[in-house]
Chains A and B, each alone.
Chain A
């Protein structure tokens, strides 16, 4: 057995270093023996994964996944490279992928995946989750460039077991939502197509402890915006938005308060 065959185990557990991966994939495309071993080892590895079973994932994740796929069209089948298979092969049997030397399809998938950036999927997923959880339509496609860390924080919030969404219409007509998790102690402001407030003015977020407002982050007017609150939610009873002069204000200007949303405790 040549050296390259020996890499099949590492290939299946995704332990090949990039250069060797290229080399092995090229080999795999023309080696039925390795193709067969890959299929078998994938079954074995799937069994091995049983040892990693933990309690079921959060139910919010299920909602989020189901909401995400409802917006995605399944790809059509690939053009048949070989005669119909679904009928002819018993489910679950290990079949040698013919002598054509056709690479197992994971390869094509993998190459395609390398080219595909995951961020857009993540944003779509987070937005879909927000829709599922809040029933408010957010199309925050503007924020594709958002950082991975931001994405992670949003996903964490949106999948928190106690996540709640409060939607409101601001005095100026802007549609907004607060996505709140007491357990994570965090709140996210989401503005859909916010009115422009002029270059010398800004939206400002506030947390209220009873009557006492605490200045929080600023949000530019115009367009779709997402902004986490800087403050945690300890003692916070309401969230509010006002319009202030650029740079923000230490106290909200009463006449420009756009919405005050009371949170459940």
Chain B
């Protein structure tokens, strides 16, 4: 065990989040609520699941659609993910991280798996045209906190070096493997690997680690 990796605060409360205390209380309450919903789901409460779906589906479907581009595939994978969340609800525990991170991780993996399993057979459906901008977002988010979050993520991304940002974007939103990213960016694989990790570290530090 590398002792230096233990957070300075022995309670496990990441110290960086203290800076964001004003807006983080709402987020913490929401995160705690999602944990409660997961507990109810594990006991078979479908109404809790419906609420969980309502609170998270925009994000989960959003990341899946961004990776897959195809609304059809995105609908299928979104459904798979939620069915899995329901089945695995009892297997979630808060030491695996927040509910939304657990779900997003699952969603991203499945989206990437789908990309890799279908991309050899069919080109991605380009009906969902992504222009690189995120203009639509502001119109659909009504939560002020969420809008603030998005702003912070944008700023966090802007604080990275261009290569970190590009490598992370291609890997995360593009669903490319690191060796594909290396080819796309014409960089050695080792460099890309480092940039992806550095990008996540930079973003993590810019955002604080609060869950």
Question: Which residues on A are within 8 Å of B, measured CB to CB?
Answer: 6-10, 12-17, 32-33, 36-37, 39-58, 61-62, 64-66, 68-70, 72-78, 85-86, 89-97, 99, 104-106, 109-110, 118, 121-122, 125, 148, 151-153, 155-156, 159
Tell me the minimal C-beta distance from B181 to chain A in angstroms. Answer: 7
Chain B positions within 8 Å of A, measured between CB atoms, are: 1-2, 5-7, 11-14, 28, 31-32, 34-35, 39, 41-44, 46, 49-50, 53-54, 57-59, 61-63, 65-67, 71-76, 78-80, 82-83, 86-91, 93-98, 100-102, 104-109, 112-113, 118, 134, 136-137, 140-141, 146, 149-150, 152-154, 156-157, 168, 171-173, 175-179, 181, 190, 192-194, 196-201, 203-204, 207, 209-211
A92 touches B172 (CB 8 A): no
Cross-interface CB contact of B97 among A9, A32, A39, cutoff 8 Å? A39
User: Quick one: which of B46, B79, B95, B210 contacts A95, CB cutoff 8 A?
Assistant: B95
**In the bound complex, what is the Cα–Cα distance between A227 and B183 (angstroms)?**
43
- Is B87 a contact of A125 with CB atoms below 8 Å? no
How distant is the Cα of A232 from the Cα of B154 in the complex, in angstroms? 44
Quick one: closest B residue to A76, CB to CB? B90
For the complex, give the distance between the alpha carbons of A242 and B53 in Å: 43
Instruction: Check A43–B98 contact: CB distance below 8 A.
Output: yes
Listed by A's residue number, 19 A-B pairs whose Cβ atoms lie within 8 Å are A7-B197, A10-B197, A32-B2, A33-B5, A39-B95, A39-B97, A40-B204, A42-B104, A45-B172, A45-B200, A46-B105, A52-B59, A53-B137, A72-B87, A86-B35, A92-B32, A92-B94, A95-B95, A99-B1
| List of B residues within 8 angstroms of A17 by Cβ | 177-179
* A53 touching B177, Cβ below 8 Å: no
For B178, list chain A residues within 8 Å (CB).
10, 15-17
Cβ distance A58 to chain B, nearest Cβ, rounded Å: 7
The 8 Å CB contact of B94, one of A45, A73, A93, A99, is A93
Residue with the highest number of chain A CB atoms closer than 10 Å, among B5, B57, B96, B207: B96
Task: Give the A-B pair count, Cβ closer than 8 A.
Answer: 298
Cα distance A97–B107 when bound, in Å? 22
A-side binding surface: helix, strand, loop or mixed? helix
Specify the chain A residue showing the minimal Cβ separation from B197. A9
CA distance A12 to B78 in the complex (A): 19
Contacts of B207 in A (CB 8 A): 44, 47
List the A side residues contacting B78 at CB < 8 Å. 57, 61, 65
Q: Which residues of the partner chain A approach B109 to less than 8 Å between Cβ atoms?
A: 14, 110
Known: A53-B59, A86-B35. 14 other contacts (CB 8 A): A9-B197, A14-B109, A17-B177, A33-B1, A33-B5, A42-B104, A49-B59, A52-B173, A62-B50, A69-B46, A74-B90, A92-B98, A109-B88, A159-B75
A122:B14 contact, CB within 8 angstroms: no
Distance to closest chain B CB from A55 (angstroms):
5
CB pair B211 A93 closer than 8 Å:
yes
When A and B form their complex, which 5 residue pairs have the shortest distance between CB atoms, in order from nearest? A9-B197, A52-B66, A92-B211, A92-B31, A57-B61
User: Among A47, A89, A92, A94, which residue has the most Cβ atoms of chain B within 10 A?
Assistant: A92
Once A52-B62, A75-B91 are accepted as A-B contacts, the answer to whether A8 and B197 lie under 8 Å apart by CB is: yes
Provide the residues of chain A in CB contact with B104, threshold 8 Å: 42, 45-46, 49
Task: Return chain A residues, CB-CB under 8 Å to B141.
Answer: 53
Whether the pair B91, A90 counts as a contact (CB closer than 8 A) is no
